[in-house]
Chain A
Amino acid sequence: MAVMDDDDPGSGAVLPTATVLALEPADLDGYSIDDLVDYLDAGCRPANPTIDSSPTCQIALNALRRLRALGMTLLEDEAAAEPTPEGSWVGALMASISTDARAGRSIPFRTASEDSALSVTEGAVRALIRDAGDAVPGLLITRSILDGDVTAIGVPIRIRLEVTLIWDARVVTQAPLLRATVERAVRRHTDLDLVAVDIVVTDVHRPSGRGNGTARP
């Protein structure tokens, strides 16, 4: 599996997906993102217990499944057909898979005892945000940023979401819905002092056959 080189719009070069994702096998319990794509292609059979029990592999697999659910089964073709590498939404999506798969910072829960260290990984929260966003039609989260010191209790945190707008969806109705959905999920599962969810539409995507492909807003 490969995607277009995001750093060189004119090259038309195709890079291995793992390069674009900047994922090392160590990040994925010894497997590369290409291994996971192959595993997905095979219907996750025969079962690989290591992949099946690895949180990082599962987070990456879920992100890949999400792309396919959007009709991205021919991701390489889509990328090759859209020579707009700088900030391309495919590139952003794939790069964000890398971010999600990493555990990142530890976000603490409030505890009564100093002998308890209860936390959730930043990667798990980002995946939670992305999953929550899937419930909102017309918008696709390409990147999420937890802005603030999430490792400390009581520090105000803003969530910045970069999203792709699927053509025909209305920002004025879907953005507030996305904000509310993400906020609800984050408050339910974390002790973050969430003060705002900022949404930026960075791309508008027209599904195949409905226009000229990706357009900048």
Chain B
Amino acid sequence: MSDIDRTEHGTAAVDVDALATVLSERMRGVDGVASLHAPIIPTPVLGSVLAATTDRAAPPVRVSRTDRSVRIAVGVSVLRSVPARTVVAALDTEARDAAFALAPGAVVRVAVTVVRFVDRSDDDVLRTTV
């Protein structure tokens, strides 16, 4: 849970899963985003590896909470027609806006990794006949 208010009368909090769901929806709408993926996982030997998709129903954006900080991580496939740095910057902003709105005062750390470049959004790409 992400505390947004803590008083003697009680607390208010945002569930991190709810934040992940909201963020996933908002991030999908960012210009240049073809699709979202689970974030990469650093490894000591191979460098980073992509997290396996084990639960397709789960939102791709991963949100975790420690004390007063919120950590947001996501992988993204980027359309080649939009510069990747523009896309990741927009996703960073989107993540911060959502996190600040739902968990004001929290330190927000955002990790966005481009994992693939595509020509069109995955909705079109996936069913392309080879």
A residues near B (Cβ < 8 Å) are 26-27, 29-30, 40, 43-44, 47, 49-50, 52-56, 58-59, 65, 68, 102-106, 109-111, 113, 115-124, 127-128, 131, 188-191
Q: Are B40 and A47 in contact (CB under 8 A)?
A: no
B residues near A (Cβ < 8 Å) are 35, 37, 40, 42, 46-50, 52-53, 56, 75, 77-78, 80, 83-85, 88-89, 92, 107-118, 122, 125-130
Q: Are B110 and A116 in contact (CB under 8 A)?
A: yes
Q: Are B117 and A189 in contact (CB under 8 A)?
A: yes
Q: A109 contacts which of B46, B56, B88, B129 (Cβ < 8 Å)?
A: B88
Known contacts A105-B48, A120-B84; is A55 also within 8 Å of B75 by CB? yes
Q: Are B46 and A104 in contact (CB under 8 A)?
A: yes
| A113-B83 Cα distance, complex, nearest whole Å | 20
Known contacts A105-B48, A120-B84; is A58 also within 8 Å of B116 by CB? yes
| A188-B56 Cα distance, complex, nearest whole Å | 32
Contacts of A40 in B (CB 8 A): 130
Q: B92 contacts which of A43, A55, A111 (Cβ < 8 Å)?
A: A111
Instruction: Give the A-B contact count at a CB cut-off of 8 A.
Output: 135
Q: Are B53 and A121 in contact (CB under 8 A)?
A: no
| A55-B34 Cα distance, complex, nearest whole Å | 11
13 contacts between A and B (CB under 8 A): A43-B129, A44-B129, A44-B130, A52-B126, A53-B126, A54-B53, A103-B46, A110-B85, A117-B112, A118-B112, A118-B113, A124-B115, A124-B117
Q: B117 contacts which of A30, A109, A122, A131 (Cβ < 8 Å)?
A: A131
8 A-B pairs with the lowest CB-CB distances in the bound complex, closest first: A120-B114, A189-B84, A55-B115, A117-B111, A118-B88, A55-B116, A52-B126, A103-B48
Q: Are B117 and A53 in contact (CB under 8 A)?
A: no
* Min distance, Cβ B105 to any Cβ of chain A, angstroms: 14
Contacts of A26 in B (CB 8 A): 49, 52
Minimal Cβ-Cβ distance residue in A for B51: A29
Q: Are B109 and A29 in contact (CB under 8 A)?
A: no
Contacts of A131 in B (CB 8 A): 80, 117
